[in-house]
Structures are given as structure tokens and as C-alpha cells.
Structure 1
Amino acid sequence: MICRIWHGRTTRARADEYAHFLQQRAIPDYRSVPGNLDVAILRREDGDVTHFLTVTHWTGEQAIRAFAGDDLLKAKYYPEDAEFLLEFESNVQHYEVIAAQAASL
């Protein structure tokens, strides 16, 4: 399993709107790809800036290619991101998941 992490920053004034966009546009896009296991979007306020991390888990590189293309570490952006983001980081990070345990309800 591969964990893919993307980071983006927006102004605090636009953070709620961007969070809504991510929930409505990005999450369904990730989940529509066979091999995507889950998606979590994390948010952290830092003064006038808000950081977002999108953490996804994938069955393997083939599934990530279906989502992001052949350059596995290249960040994928939506046209709407230009309205919100302060910059466009070119790469994401990948980690091999070596241990995990789901929460019991």
C-alpha cells in the first residue's frame, strides 16, 4: 500500500471555501479511481494562512497512475485551484505503508 500526501496553502479568508471545494470536487475524484483505498483531508491554521494536506492510500503504483498520470510524484491540480492556492508545489510525497490498524467502532 502506498500513502500519497499533497500539501497546499490558501489564505485563511478563503479556507472554508477551499475546504468545501476539496470535499465536493477532490474527494469524489480520488474515490472514483479503482485502487484508491481512502482519502483524508487535514487542515491547519497558521496566522493568515491555512495549510491543507490530502492524504490518500492506494493499492499500488498502477492505481496512482490512473489518477495522476505516469509521473507518479507530480502533483495533480484542478483548474479551480488557481482561485485559492498561494503557490503550486510541483511534487507530492509517497510513503510505503509498512503497518496499519483501522480503528474499531
Structure 2
Amino acid sequence: MICRIWHGRTSRERADEYAIFLKDRAISDYRSVSGNIDVAILRRDDGDVSHFLTVTHWSSEEAIRAFAGDDILSAKYYPEDSGFLLEFEPEVQHFDVVAEQASH
């Protein structure tokens, strides 16, 4: 399993609205791709800026490619992001999941 992590920053004043956008638009996009295992969106407020991490788990690189395109380390952005984000980080991070425990 592969963990894919994207980071973005927005102004604190737009953070609530961006969180709703991510919940409504991004989660359904990730979940629509075969091989996506789960999605979590994290937020941390820091002064006038809010940081967002989108943490997803994937069954394989092929599944990530179906979501992100051939360059699987490239960040995927939505047109609406330009109204929220302070910059566009070009890449995401991938980690191999070497241990996990799911709660039931």
C-alpha cells in the first residue's frame, strides 16, 4: 500500500470555505478511482495561514496513475484551487506503508 500526501496553504480567512470545498469535491474525486483505499483531510491553523494535508492510501502505483496521471509525484489541482491556495506545490510525497492497524 502507498500513502500519498499533498500539502497546501490558504489564508485563515478562507480556510473554512476551502475545507468545505475539499470535503465536497476532492474526497469524491479520490474515492471514484479504483484502488483508492481511503482519504483523510487534515487542517492546522497557524496565525494567518491554514495548512491542509490530504492523506490518501492506494493499492498500487497504477491506481495512483489513474488518479494523478503518468507522473504520479505531480500534485493534482482543481480549477477552484486558484481562488484559495497561496501557492501551488508541484509535488506530493509518497510513502510505502510498512505497518498498519485498522480499527473495527
TM-score by length of 1: 0.98
Structure 2 counterpart of 1:36: 36
Amino acid at match of 1:47: G
The superposition leaves residues 40-95 of structure 1 with CA deviations (integer Å, 9 ceiling, x where unpaired) of 00000000000000000000000000000000100000000000000000000000
Q: How many residues align?
A: 104
Percentage of matched positions with identical amino acids = 76
**What CA RMSD, in Å, does the superposition of the two structures yield over aligned residues?**
0.4
Residue 83, structure 1, aligned to residue 83, structure 2: yes
- Structure 1 unaligned segments of length 5 or more: list them: none
Amino acid at match of 1:33: V
| Deviation beyond 6 Å, 4+ runs, structure 1 | none
Task: Please give the residue correspondences for 1:5-16 in structure 2 after superposition, counting only pairs within 5 Å.
Answer: 5-16=5-16
Structure 1 counterpart of 2:68: 68
